[in-house]
Amino acid sequence: DATSQISSLNKVKEIEFWKSSFIKSLFIGVPMFIVNNVFPATDLDSSWHIFHGLYMESLIEWGLASYIQFGAGKFFYINAYNSLKHGSGTMDLLICISTNISYFFSVLTILISFFRGSDKTPPKTLFETAVLLINFVSLGKWMENKAKSETSSSLSKLINLTSTECTIVQEPENFDLNSVNQVMTIPINYLQINDILEIKAGEKIPADGFIVSGESEIDESLLTGESLPIFKKESDRVIGGSINGVGHLFVRVTSTSENSQFSKIIKLVKSAQMNKAPIQSYADYVAGIFVPTIITLSFLTFICWIIICEVLPNPPAVFNNVNGKLYICLKIAISVIVVACPCALGLAAPTAVMVGTGVGASNGVLIKGGEVLETANNVDVLLFDKTGTLTIGSMIVSNFRVFGDWAESLVLELVGAVEAKSEHPIGVAITKHATEVLGPLNTVIDSSEVKIGKGIIANVSLNGKKYEVAIGNLKTFSDDFLKENTDRLNVDSDNTVAHIAINNQYVGYLELEDAVKKDSATVINFLKYEGYEVAMVTGDSAKAANKIAAQVGIPYKNVYSEISPYGKEQLVRDFQSRGLKVAFIGDGINDSPALAQSDLGIAIASGTDIALEAADIVFLNNELKLNGISSALSISNSTLRRIKWNLFWSCVYNMTMLPIAMGVLIPWGIQLSPLAAGAAMAFSSVSVVLSSLWLKRWTPPDISKY
């Protein structure tokens, strides 16, 4: 359910586990550290000798350290075992090795003291090192998981919009606006298509549907990034997960909650956050050889310092320790293992991808993972579809002309019926115009054939008569037909023209015009300023295409007109054959071939019609605006820069700290203790996550000045 999903995303269990582990190891580790490192320098230092080289404080430390080592530290054993079982090494394996060396070295010194029967001083152990290492790592893991929970905050907010219950009309088939309708509350899982929901002011809308009664302002901000509520009235579509304003609505369900666009968005964002960026393969490769390399370096460091201490008559001052040279050499070797941090490398890309895709989703830009983010940074050409992308896509009939003896009402009713089931903006506009002029259409469609990128040919029955109706651009008709009607077909217009033939006789045409989105010109100018090559492709005539290109600022040489959907795909191939990376931006209705062929497919969703499959990036709430493209490219650039910075920082950290831990500064009296190494390692992991969280400060680029 939603609660468990949010709990998982927010790392609730992990945060509690590491918090508990940190507190336990802190209460045990700090007193042990004080007893071993502070008391010896004061009058409080005293030992309780039991018998034959065995001391009470040693036994107490052994017991407490065992509790932490095999209690709070069991996580490291489990993960280390699993990583070895899969033939890989992780930070958990390094922690396991270093704490075990400290722990079992201490056990060995106690046993040697006991068998030798020493009664002068307690044996020097490293129990506090093992305990405090687990303490520092637990603190780091606690902070890391708290930071990680923030990387999923956008997704958590989306999931939190999921309803668990809903109120429905008991008899939807008898729904009557003018009478009291009996309602009941049911679990959201029982909701079915065609149920009628009652949604009161301030309630979440449980599923996709359309309003059958009422009007209100709907808050879709978490779904589309649109900050202002959107006014919705009867017959308007609503998206599940959006929030009703002050109105009282009745909504007929068109898809159940698990199949709603909202659920698809959540699944897409989840999948995107798991999708690796190609640059991460570098980090994975390094991490794969990192652990065995560190273990080897630690062993060689130990051997080298042992040899140096034996060969040099006056070894460095740090070795003049009451506990002996072996003790110091062992601590240096442990520091090498502890300070190394493959975790920082492993977190560099995934955390940035999680935050980047989450930020995109909260701004109405759905980005399908790390690979898409990286591809977006390599794009050379932005190829825009015209209708519904650069333009609003809500076309209107501006001129209707009929030739011969044909009645305008008959022709309009026939073409309106033929286009009734079309999703193309031209077809929608023609049917809308026909119904506005004539009212309900009584025509029966016997059969129809959609010629993609051209038009529609249909057999129609009306008042007992049958007609063959063809409507579309010039490519809809045969060469012979075009020759016979050359003069009439040559319409001098810079609008979109739909020609009409009935029973193979040319009868007239419709002119349609579309408005450019208010920010199209600004976005195009911004993209050109950023160095992208911008082009436009359309199935429209050259005149109509050039008219829109002039309004938005696309050079005429980059305008491709009268191109079919498959011609658009070939155009993408042509750009790619020149070695260019192409992003195709379309409305997701008839652009699937080009979206799939392009290096980066970008679909602009209309209402609840979200083309999630063919595109790599989907914009929500861009029916009237185009600024999603600038936001998507900006998020991609920012995320990839953050990944590169994280990888750079991780490499610099390891390349700096490893030599220090190995003792390169020992000749100058500086030695990195295991505890300091543990703190540095924890800081490294947390800093990478915090660096990725900086992406949450991202703001859309200011395109108003272009």
pLDDT in tens, 619-654: 876 555 788 889 889 999 999 999 889 888 888 888
Q: Provide the pLDDT for residue 350.
A: 79
CA 652 vs. chain centroid, Å, equals: 28
Strand partners, 114: none
Q: What's this model's pTM, rounded to 2 decimal places?
A: 0.69
Confidence of residue 608 (pLDDT cuts 50, 70, 90): very low
Query: How far is Cα 461 from Cα 408, in angstroms, rounded to an integer?
Result: 17
Q: What is the dihedral of CA 625, 396, 559, 534, to 10 degrees?
A: 0
**Residue with more model confidence, 615 or 170:** 170
pLDDT 10s digits, 25-62: 888 888 887 777 666 655 555 566 677 777 888 888 89
Strands annotated E in 223-331: 230-232, 237-238, 243-244, 249-253
Closest CA to 700 of 638, 611, 624, 652: 638
- Range 557-570 average pLDDT: 87
Query: How far is Cα 615 from Cα 636, in angstroms, rounded to an integer?
Result: 16
296 CB contacts (<8 Å, ≥6 apart)? none
DSSP 499-568: EEEETTEEEEEEEEE-PBPTTHHHHHHHHHHTT-EEEEE-SS-HHHHHHHHHHHT--GGGEE-S--HHHH
Going from the C-alpha of 599 to that of each of 373, 524, 635, the distances in angstroms are 12, 20, 18
pLDDT 10s digits, 503-534: 999 999 999 888 888 889 999 999 999 999 99
- Range 542-548 average pLDDT: 88
Contact assessment for residue 608 and residue 223, using Cβ atoms and an 8 Å cutoff = no
Q: Provide the pLDDT for residue 610.
A: 46
Contact assessment for residue 647 and residue 341, using Cβ atoms and an 8 Å cutoff = no
Q: Provide the pLDDT for residue 127.
A: 84
Q: What is the dihedral of CA 76, 78, 84, 87, to 10 degrees?
A: -110
What domains are there in the chain, each with its CATH number?
A: 1-162 (no CATH), 165-256 (2.70.150.10), 364-387+516-632 (3.40.50.1000), 392-515 (3.40.1110.10)
Query: How far is Cα 616 from Cα 224, in angstroms, rounded to an integer?
Result: 17
Catalytic positions, please? 385
Which range in 145-154, 354-363, 651-660 is most confidently predicted, on average pLDDT? 651-660
Q: Provide the pLDDT for residue 557.
A: 93
Query: How far is Cα 653 from Cα 154, in angstroms, rounded to an integer?
Result: 30
Q: Provide the pLDDT for residue 271.
A: 61
Contact assessment for residue 272 and residue 367, using Cβ atoms and an 8 Å cutoff = yes
Closest CA to 383 of 572, 564, 612, 539: 572
- Give me the residue label for tokens 């001052």: 317
pLDDT 10s digits, 413-433: 999 999 988 877 788 889 999
Contact assessment for residue 519 and residue 627, using Cβ atoms and an 8 Å cutoff = yes
pLDDT 10s digits, 88-136: 767 778 788 888 888 888 888 888 878 877 666 777 777 887 888 788 7
Give the lowest-confidence range in 14-28, 169-183, 363-377. Answer: 169-183
574 CB contacts (<8 Å, ≥6 apart)? none
Q: Provide the pLDDT for residue 664.
A: 92
382 CB contacts (<8 Å, ≥6 apart)? 527, 532, 533, 534, 535, 583, 585, 629
Contact assessment for residue 629 and residue 602, using Cβ atoms and an 8 Å cutoff = yes
- Range 692-706 average pLDDT: 86
Average pLDDT, the chain: 82
Query: How far is Cα 131 from Cα 103, in angstroms, rounded to an integer?
Result: 9
CA atoms within 13 A on the CB side of 144: 24
**Residue with more model confidence, 205 or 137:** 205
